[in-house]
């Protein structure tokens, strides 16, 4: 079955679309960040999926093993996860500051309060 | 004489401007510096005259801007003529400015003198430009540094006039002029002014030179060819000395000068004769002459009338060059000189009238000749010169342009000149008539304007006549621009 | 010995200096550390630039792992030039910054600013110097995250919201880039850019490669604020501290442009994407729209910083327009405009920093009569404005000249006319500034009260920038020659 062969990628695609939708559609800043998190984690799946080789083992040289999984994507994604955590953390910190400054987390209200006429972007 | 010294012509007014700025607290010294700089600049330019008449063409490249395009200065007869006219009139204009600005208690006089000096510097740059990029550079600087002069009063009208001024001049130059320069560069691989033009035979067969010609003619908005003439009347909100020097001499002459220079040294007069379809320029110039004269006839504001008269007289120069015959090119050069001296006299008179009586309308001038006889005599000389009555310099230039028209057998041009002469008479003579022969209205006797104004006005008036008798050198310079082939 | 380590030092110096700022916490010491670090970085980039001029491409193996397995730093004519631009502006802005920051940020937060600033510099330099695709992503995120912090440090609470919006869009952009890189890795099994280029050149452009290119293009376009992906930029520039705006406006988008050039011409160079795919056409159309729409929007802004931010979007249009052509002249125009716009916009925001230092956030109502009160600053603004318009004698003219030549070379005179017409829009917004600053003299409107004298450091650096705008309008040996050399190298990648 083709569909199930590539199930990981389908899931990743779904996550990308869902994450982006949440980012665009939600008015609440926290929900926006949640969407961003979902979107980012899709990337992890895209990277990890091809690196996993069924029957392969960790890349440590042992005489009775011939199939190894590729360690590089795992390492990359570790980095990407760290980056993702930092991004979300910074985003949440900003949200806290925004809440202190505006008293709300709803985007439309924030725009009403300050940007008003200024928001022709 | 070392060739580096060409650049000093550009530098002298800049140094003058710096000194003027430095002496802003001391009006007397500031204005002395202006005068000294102007005289020095004129003498500096004049020293080139013998060499150029001998056929020398000094050149000086200051630096390379873009690979193969230098900041190049060179002196040829047309440029020298223009530089001499502009710098000599700067002297007289400075005397006039001192009288005018003080009598009318204008503000920001230091800014005025500084910008004026920089405007003269860029005029020198235009006159001695050795290639199109250099010309374009100083052309734009001239636009920008005259903007504060046009908007000098800072009022709403000044701002509005400044917008039109800058808007038209900048848009035409960037949209058309720059485009034409870029295109010329790709098409010919050079931007240098060369006698007989830079296009070779094959290139002249294509339609590109014709398109380029249109781009250049419309790109040089300073020449005030219709439909890009609106900035000139708009710029009349400026103080009169500005209108006088910049809009009768430096700026507008920089425009027609650029067009003549481009036609002669980029296209080549001999080549232009062979291009078919080049005669549209002649018709356009002819139309501008007549149309602007009609508008002048109808306007009651004296300065507006003079502005439209300028538009029409500028197109004389274009009309003459557009005949593409050497004698007419000489006539064009001569007309640059003639119109400069005559028109500046007229503007000086207009300013003198305003200073003495605060009058700006033609209809208010009844009997003013009795109160301001010197002013109105000067005005009369300027007007007669522009109409083309001997013994004034204006007669000579019209004469040569007419001979060019007969040479080229263009009855259209002959007709345009005759009609416009009648129109010139129609919009100038009633003023003179009213001034001297109409009965006085009930104005109080305000007398003449301050002495400085009178001196300046009298000297340009006298020069308009004197140049008629001493025109040999101008004519021989003019003949060198486009030697008969 | 040391000279062979320059590529590593380029990134390591600011990276190490950043945490040191945190240790000291004293605003003045933090600033000094930043100044020393950024100056050293600048010197390193000069060294690298000269080395590349003499020896050609420098390849540096990070940790002695030979490429394509290890991370390679690869410096050629293209990124040596960009490194020089970024690090010089980084150093000069640092020298300018202290008094301005003191006015705009609490002194007990200065060390945080400098930490972020140095990290941002690290990131930008890292993106530019590295020859490893994933490394690009990591450095990009280092620079982005620190940029969000820099923006959020702005005085008004709008800065927080602007930073948040940029965080969302920037992260989406970065994630798109990392997806693109991931797809490329899947298909080629390598992350080394040089290796990627040669392997991609050997294979057809199948679906995954195309998807990778698409993800990369969109991601990078978000980062370089290509219209219509520019929405984050105006507010971010407008509300960030003046120092941060000056630095970011002059460098951040430029590095993103470099990435675009690197991927389009080098990595995908041999795949002939410009002739095979409509990439050039898409870029071209978006650039033209950017030039007109952003300039028009700029005219109607009330905040001067925002106005110039929109002007940046328009100017980026000129840069991408040149990049869309794949010809020597056009690429030269693009790269030289990258340089000229960096100094011009840098100068403008530095000048606005001085204005902000004296009167607070510059809006059009506040700057009435500025020409009288701050004559030199206003005059500097006029000069830089002329450079934005592209008046001859300024740096902006040189880039416009090359751009027009490039367009005319193709025979597209209508496009040349459009480029020129769009610079008329620049006249409109520059002249709005001029008229407000010089012509509004009503006594009751004239509310400007000058705080104090302009500090020496701010004045000197700003004058330097403004003079550079004029200098590079006349002396183009450095700017144009380096740019055309970079363009030649880029085009060579597409040929091999």
Structure tokens at B348: 């000086």
Q: In whole angstroms, what is the distance from residue C414 CA to residue B211 CA?
A: 13
* B182 at interface of C, judged by CB pairs closer than 8 A: yes
CB spacing of C393 vs B178 below 8 angstroms: no
CB spacing of C178 vs A43 below 8 angstroms: yes
**pLDDT tens digits for range B159-204:** 888 889 988 999 999 889 999 999 999 888 888 888 888 888 788 8
Which residues are CB-neighbours of B158 under 8 A, at least 6 positions away? B150, B151, B152, B237, B238, C439
CATH of the domain at A40: 1.10.287.3510
* C161 at interface of A, judged by CB pairs closer than 8 A: yes
- Verify that C39 and C84 share a domain, yes or no: yes
Q: How far is C429 from chain B (nearest CA, A)?
A: 12
The range of the structural domain enclosing residue C452 comes to: 278-496
- Verify that C160 and C295 share a domain, yes or no: no
- Verify that C33 and C115 share a domain, yes or no: yes
425-454 of C, contacting B, C-beta below 8 A: 427, 431, 435, 438-439, 441
- Verify that C415 and C325 share a domain, yes or no: yes
Q: In whole angstroms, what is the distance from residue C407 CA to residue C418 CA?
A: 10
- Chain A contacts to C (CB-CB under 8 A): 16, 20, 23, 29, 32-33, 36, 39-40, 43, 46-47, 50, 72-73, 76, 79-80, 83, 86-87, 90-91, 94-95, 97-98, 101-102, 110, 114-115, 118, 120-121
Is C150's pLDDT higher than 70?
yes
- Verify that C424 and C488 share a domain, yes or no: yes
Instruction: Report the share of chain C in percent with pLDDT over 70.
Output: 97
pLDDT at C65: 82
Mean pLDDT of all residues in C251-276: 88
pLDDT class for B138, splitting at 50, 70, 90? Answer: very high
Q: In whole angstroms, what is the distance from residue B285 CA to residue B417 CA?
A: 11
Q: Specify if A97 maps to a domain.
A: yes
- Verify that C305 and C257 share a domain, yes or no: no
Q: In whole angstroms, what is the distance from residue B112 CA to residue B239 CA?
A: 10
- Verify that C245 and C352 share a domain, yes or no: no
Q: Specify if C191 maps to a domain.
A: no
pLDDT at A88: 94
What SS3 class is residue C274?
A: helix
* C235 at interface of A, judged by CB pairs closer than 8 A: yes
- Verify that C39 and C155 share a domain, yes or no: yes
**pLDDT tens digits for range C25-69:** 888 899 999 999 999 999 999 999 999 988 888 888 888 888 777
Is A120's pLDDT higher than 50?
no
CA distances from C94 to C117, C149, C308, C380 (A): 9, 17, 21, 20
pLDDT at C93: 93
Instruction: Report the share of chain A in percent with pLDDT over 70.
Output: 92
- Verify that C359 and C472 share a domain, yes or no: yes
* B136 at interface of C, judged by CB pairs closer than 8 A: yes
Helix (H) or strand (E) segment spanning residue C283:
helix C279-299
* B107 at interface of C, judged by CB pairs closer than 8 A: no
Q: In whole angstroms, what is the distance from residue C215 CA to residue B240 CA?
A: 63
Q: Specify if A80 maps to a domain.
A: yes
Residues of A in contact with C234 (CB under 8 A): 121
**pLDDT tens digits for range A53-107:** 777 777 777 777 777 777 888 888 999 999 999 999 999 999 999 999 888 888 8
- Verify that C150 and C282 share a domain, yes or no: no
pLDDT at C138: 93
* C35 at interface of B, judged by CB pairs closer than 8 A: no
How many domains would you assign to chain C?
2
Most confidently predicted of B356-370, C399-413, C436-450: C399-413
> What pTM was computed for the model?
0.90
Q: Specify if C452 maps to a domain.
A: yes
Torsion angle of C-alpha atoms A71, A76, A81, A83, degrees rounded to 10: 160
Tell me the three-class secondary structure of B33-78, residue by residue: HHHHHHHHHHHHHHCCHHHHHCCCCCEEEEEEEECCEEEEEECCHH
Q: How far is CA B309 from the centre of its chain?
A: 13
Q: Specify if A114 maps to a domain.
A: yes
- Verify that C371 and C248 share a domain, yes or no: no
pLDDT class for B153, splitting at 50, 70, 90? Answer: confident
Which residues are CB-neighbours of A37 under 8 A, at least 6 positions away? A19, A84, A88
Is C155's pLDDT higher than 90?
no
pLDDT at C447: 56
ipTM of the complex: 0.90
DSSP state of A56: -
CB spacing of C141 vs A87 below 8 angstroms: yes
Beta pairing partners, C303: C363
Q: How far is CA C435 from the centre of its chain?
A: 29
Q: Specify if A59 maps to a domain.
A: no
Residues of C in contact with B66 (CB under 8 A): 398, 401-402, 476, 480
How many domains would you assign to chain A?
1
Q: What angle do CA C335, B134, C250 make, to 5 degrees?
A: 25
* C164 at interface of A, judged by CB pairs closer than 8 A: yes
The range of the structural domain enclosing residue A100 comes to: 2-54+67-118
pLDDT at C42: 94
Sign of CA dihedral A42, A47, A52, A58: negative
CB spacing of C182 vs A98 below 8 angstroms: no
pLDDT at A119: 45
When CB atoms are compared, the residue of B65, B144, B175 closest to C424 is: B175
**pLDDT tens digits for range C284-302:** 999 999 999 999 999 998 8
CA distances from A76 to B110, B264, C195 (A): 67, 69, 18
What is the residue-averaged pLDDT of chain C?
89
Q: Specify if A62 maps to a domain.
A: no
- Verify that C3 and C144 share a domain, yes or no: yes
pLDDT class for C86, splitting at 50, 70, 90? Answer: very high
CB spacing of A94 vs C182 below 8 angstroms: no
Is C223's pLDDT higher than 50?
yes
pLDDT at B156: 83
pLDDT class for C332, splitting at 50, 70, 90? Answer: very high
């Amino acid at each position: 079955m083709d569909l199930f062969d590539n199930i990981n990628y389908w899931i990743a695609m779904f996550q990308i679309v869902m994450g982006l939708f949440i980012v665009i559609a939600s008015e609440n800043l926290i929900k926006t960040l949640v969407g961003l998190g979902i979107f980012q984690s899709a990337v992890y799946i895209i990277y990890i999926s091809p690196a996993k080789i069924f029957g392969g083992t960790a890349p440590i040289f042992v005489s009775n093993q011939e199939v190894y999984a590729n360690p590089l994507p795992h390492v990359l994604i570790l980095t990407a996860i760290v980056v993702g955590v930092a991004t979300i953390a910074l985003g949440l910190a900003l949200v806290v500051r925004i809440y202190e400054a505006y008293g709300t987390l709803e985007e439309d209200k924030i725009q009403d309060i300050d940007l008003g006429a200024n928001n022709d972007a | 004489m070392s060739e580096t010294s060409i650049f000093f012509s550009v530098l002298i007014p800049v140094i003058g401007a710096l000194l003027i700025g430095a002496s802003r607290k001391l009006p007397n010294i500031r204005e002395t510096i202006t005068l000294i700089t102007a005289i020095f600049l004129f003498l500096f330019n004049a020293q080139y005259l013998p060499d150029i008449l001998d056929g020398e063409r000094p050149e000086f490249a200051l630096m390379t801007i873009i690979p193969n395009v230098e900041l190049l200065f060179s002196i040829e007869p047309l440029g020298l003529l223009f530089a001499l006219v502009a710098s000599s009139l700067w002297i007289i204009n400075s005397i006039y400015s001192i009288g005018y600005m003080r009598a009318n208690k204008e503000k920001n006089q230091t800014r005025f003198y500084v910008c004026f000096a920089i405007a003269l510097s860029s005029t020198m740059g235009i006159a001695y430009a050795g290639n199109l990029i250099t010309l374009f550079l100083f052309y734009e600087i001239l636009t920008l540094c005259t903007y504060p002069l046009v908007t000098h009063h800072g009022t709403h009208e000044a701002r509005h006039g400044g917008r039109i001024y800058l808007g038209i001049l900048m848009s035409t130059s960037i949209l058309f002029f720059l485009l034409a320069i870029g295109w010329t560069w790709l098409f010919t691989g050079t931007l240098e002014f060369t006698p007989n033009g830079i296009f070779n035979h094959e290139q002249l067969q294509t339609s590109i030179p014709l398109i380029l010609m249109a781009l250049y003619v419309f790109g040089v908005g300073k020449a005030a060819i219709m439909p890009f003439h609106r900035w000139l009347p708009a710029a009349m909100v400026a103080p009169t000395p500005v209108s006088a020097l910049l809009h009768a001499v430096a700026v507008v002459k920089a425009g027609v000068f650029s067009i003549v220079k481009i036609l002669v040294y980029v296209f080549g007069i001999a080549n232009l004769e062979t291009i078919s379809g080049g005669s549209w320029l002649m018709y356009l110039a002819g139309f501008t002459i007549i149309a602007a004269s009609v508008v002048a006839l109808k306007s009651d504001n004296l300065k507006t009338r003079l502005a439209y008269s300028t538009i029409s007289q500028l197109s004389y120069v274009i009309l003459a060059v557009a005949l593409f015959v050497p004698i007419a090119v000489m006539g064009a050069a001569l007309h640059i000189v003639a119109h400069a001296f005559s028109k500046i006299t007229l503007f000086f008179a207009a300013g003198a009238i305003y200073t003495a009586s605060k009058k700006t309308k033609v209809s208010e001038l009844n009997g003013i000749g009795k109160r301001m006889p010197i002013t109105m005599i000067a005005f009369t000389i300027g007007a007669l010169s522009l109409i083309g009555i001997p013994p004034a310099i204006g007669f000579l230039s019209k004469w040569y342009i007419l001979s060019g028209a007969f040479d080229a057998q263009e009855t259209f041009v002959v007709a345009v000149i005759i009609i416009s002469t009648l129109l010139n008479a129609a919009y100038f003579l009633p003023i003179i008539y009213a001034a001297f022969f109409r009965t006085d209205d009930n104005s109080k006797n305000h007398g003449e304007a301050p002495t400085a104004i009178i001196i300046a006005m009298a000297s340009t008036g006298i020069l308009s006549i004197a140049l008629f008798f001493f025109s040999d050198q101008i004519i021989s310079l003019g003949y060198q621009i486009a030697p008969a082939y | 010995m040391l000279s062979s380590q320059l590529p590593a030092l380029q990134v390591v110096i600011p990276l190490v200096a950043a945490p040191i700022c945190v240790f000291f916490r004293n605003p003045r010491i933090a600033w000094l550390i930043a100044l020393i670090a950024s100056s050293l970085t600048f010197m390193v980039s000069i060294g690298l630039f000269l080395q590349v001029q003499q020896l050609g491409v420098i390849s540096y193996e990070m940790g002695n792992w030979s490429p394509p397995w290890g991370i390679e730093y690869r410096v050629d004519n293209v990124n040596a030039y960009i490194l020089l631009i970024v690090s010089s502006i980084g150093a000069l802005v640092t020298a300018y910054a202290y008094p301005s920051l003191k006015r705009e940020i609490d002194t007990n937060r200065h060390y945080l600013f400098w930490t972020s600033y140095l990290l941002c510099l690290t990131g930008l330099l890292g993106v530019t110097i590295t020859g490893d695709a994933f490394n690009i992503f990591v450095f990009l995120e280092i620079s982005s995250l620190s940029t969000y912090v820099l923006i959020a440090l702005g005085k008004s609470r709008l800065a927080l919201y602007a930073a948040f919006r940029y965080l969302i869009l920037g992260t989406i952009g970065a994630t798109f880039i990392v997806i693109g890189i991931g797809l490329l890795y899947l298909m080629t099994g390598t992350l080394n850019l040089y290796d990627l280029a040669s392997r991609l050149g050997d294979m057809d452009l199948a679906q995954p490669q195309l998807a990778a290119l698409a993800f990369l293009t969109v991601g990078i376009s978000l980062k370089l604020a290509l219209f219509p992906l520019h929405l984050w930029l105006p507010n971010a520039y407008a509300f960030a501290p003046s120092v941060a705006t000056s630095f970011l406006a002059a460098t951040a988008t430029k590095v993103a442009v470099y990435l675009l050039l690197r991927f389009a011409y080098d990595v995908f160079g041999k795949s002939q994407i410009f002739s095979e795919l409509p990439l050039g056409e898409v870029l071209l159309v978006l650039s033209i729209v950017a030039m007109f729409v952003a300039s028009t929007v700029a005219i109607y802004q009330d905040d001067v910083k925002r106005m110039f931010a929109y002007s940046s979007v328009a100017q980026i249009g000129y840069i991408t327009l040149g990049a869309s052509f794949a010809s020597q002249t056009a690429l030269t125009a693009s790269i030289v405009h990258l340089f000229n716009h960096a100094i011009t916009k840098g100068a403008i925001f530095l000048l606005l920093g001085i204005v902000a230092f004296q009167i607070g956030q510059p809006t059009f109502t506040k700057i009435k009569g500025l020409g009288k009160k701050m004559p030199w600053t206003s005059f500097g603004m006029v000069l830089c404005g002329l450079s934005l318009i592209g008046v001859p004698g300024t740096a902006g003219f040189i880039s416009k000249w090359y751009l027009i030549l490039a367009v005319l070379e193709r025979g597209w005179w209508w496009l040349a006319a459009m480029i020129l017409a769009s610079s008329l829009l620049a006249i409109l917004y520059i002249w709005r500034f001029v008229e407000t600053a010089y012509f509004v003299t009503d006594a009751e409107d004239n509310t400007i009260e000058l705080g104090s004298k302009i500090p020496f450091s701010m004045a000197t650096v700003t004058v330097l920038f403004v003079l550079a705008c004029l200098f590079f309008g006349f002396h183009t040996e450095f700017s144009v020659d380096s740019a055309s050399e970079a363009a030649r190298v880029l085009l060579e990648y597409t040929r091999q």
